[in-house]
Chains A and B, each alone.
Chain A
Amino acid sequence: MNYAALFVSAIFVNNIVLAQYLGQCPYVGCSKEKGVAFGMGTAVVFVIFMATGITWLFQTYVLNPFNLGYLQTIAFILVIAALVQFVEMFLKKVIPPLYRSLGIFLPLITTNCAVLGVAVLVQRKEYDLITSLLYALFTSLGFLLALMLMSGIRERLETVRAPRAMRGTPTALIMAGIMSLAFLAFKGMIE
């Protein structure tokens, strides 16, 4: 599979939120405003990229040689959580502006299923390191795209007079379904 196909596949065809249904929590929870959505999206890109890299190395050089593959899920959670904590401290010390913009989102997505999902998926697909990192980057960009689309629509819907019971999250869930249907149109375009 060439990288261009991987790009289209990870962002549109197999979008992590809209086709694989991972990371629904930040998708609904952090999509009320575009600014917040962008902060969350970039934090997810950052964390998925780093987490996939480190878990790939961990799987290849620790779990596989010792035949500990069955510990994958729990070990990945541990590694990712420690990594995010470390990155948070590192950013606070070395790049304070980035810490201020990503700061509150980093701990929130530590154990998000999208992060763990990508780390596990690249193992199932048996990608090499470069392909894994690119897959992680494209997938998380797909997440950012979905989040930005959702927040854009929700900002516009704020001024619509919806029935009281449907305001907020119920509308967001319906829209998530409709967006998911729309992305279904990409199915079959590429594997």
Chain B
Amino acid sequence: MVVSSVVTLLALGFCASLVLAVASRLLYVKEDPRIAELAEMLPGANCGGCGYAGCEAYAVAVLNDADVSPSLCVAGGREVSDAVAALSGKAAGSAEPNIAFRRCERLEGNVAPRYVYRGIGTCAAAAAVDNGPFQCSWSCLGLGDCEKACPFGALHMIGTLAVVDPETCTGCGVCVRTCPRQVLELIPKKGRVRIHCATRAKMKAVKDVCGVGCISCARCVKKCPAKALSLDSGRLELDHEACLAYGPSCGEVCTQECPRKILRAY
């Protein structure tokens, strides 16, 4: 009985392995070996900053599609985009390093709470309750959805505001997509001027609740020599490319003109 069972199982195992060996030859799927190599090179955080589902999906796309740029990986920066370009045989573009920036100074502006929020501890939930617990309905909610979402640990809640660590932030944009208030924004790392308010509210409504909110006076828009500033349905927007292209003196006028000092030079 021992012999027969050992022999039977050996024979069975042999048959099974033979079938699998033949099958692995016949059903072999040719995969581009560069895909694995490329996936290895990418940061592997699957942050989605490139616009694909993950690092592997981007690796497949960049090798198979001639129109996909090798410099989409914002998290990897220059080094990775050069390596990807070399491997995929495409011209290296320059991945302009971006950084996330919080357009809110709720603490500095002394924005008062409207009610005490005691619900689910996420910004998304708090934002859904009557426009959030603050007088300003455009402010940072301070419950840290972005901190939890950041795949690189570059965001921290200090006090009740999200603070971006410029050293570790890779500009992947996960936090920007997570924030229910669009308080976070991606800007070029070398941008000269940053807007410290994200409100779309009207002048009086802002002045009543916040000491440093944008009151849409549009002085900066009119004075900007590069025409880089604009009011987009009540919210101040800065075209960083136009601002940087203008020259080194750009960033002086608007920061001086702003009566609320929400435009600050860096």
- Verify B20–A82 contact, CB threshold 8 A: yes
- How many residue pairs link A and B with beta carbons under 8 A? The number is 43
* A152 CB to nearest B CB, Å: 19
User: B101-130 CB contact bits vs A (8 Å, 1 = yes)?
Assistant: 000000000000000000010000100000
- Verify A86–B20 contact, CB threshold 8 A: yes
Q: B8-16, B75-83, B203-211: which one contacts chain A?
A: B8-16
B residues within 8 A CB of A89? 20, 23-24, 27
Separation of A70 and B8 alpha carbons in the complex (Å): 12
Q: Does B29 contact A (CB under 8 A)?
A: yes
**Chain B 14-31 interface residues, beta-carbon cutoff 8 Å to A:** 16-17, 19-20, 23-24, 27-29
What's the tally of chain A residues with a CB closer than 8 Å to chain B? 19
- Verify B20–A68 contact, CB threshold 8 A: no
Separation of A78 and B16 alpha carbons in the complex (Å): 8
Separation of A93 and B24 alpha carbons in the complex (Å): 10
Q: Does A108 contact B (CB under 8 A)?
A: no
Q: Does B249 contact A (CB under 8 A)?
A: no
Separation of A81 and B125 alpha carbons in the complex (Å): 46
Separation of A82 and B16 alpha carbons in the complex (Å): 6
Separation of A159 and B29 alpha carbons in the complex (Å): 43
Separation of A20 and B23 alpha carbons in the complex (Å): 36
Q: Does B233 contact A (CB under 8 A)?
A: no
Q: Does A161 contact B (CB under 8 A)?
A: yes
- Verify B4–A68 contact, CB threshold 8 A: yes
* B73 CB to nearest A CB, Å: 23
B residues within 8 A CB of A153? none
Separation of A86 and B25 alpha carbons in the complex (Å): 12
Separation of A82 and B19 alpha carbons in the complex (Å): 8
**Chain A 43-90 interface residues, beta-carbon cutoff 8 Å to B:** 66, 68, 70-71, 74-75, 78-79, 81-82, 85-86, 89-90
Separation of A70 and B6 alpha carbons in the complex (Å): 12
The closest CB in chain B to the CB of A70 belongs to B5
A-B contact pairs, 28 of them (CB 8 A): A66-B8, A68-B4, A70-B1, A70-B5, A71-B5, A71-B8, A74-B9, A75-B8, A75-B12, A78-B13, A79-B16, A82-B17, A82-B20, A85-B20, A86-B20, A86-B23, A89-B20, A89-B27, A90-B27, A92-B27, A92-B29, A93-B27, A93-B28, A93-B29, A94-B27, A159-B120, A159-B125, A161-B120
A-B pairs with lowest CB-CB distance, top 10? A82-B16, A93-B27, A89-B27, A92-B29, A89-B23, A86-B23, A93-B29, A85-B20, A71-B5, A78-B12
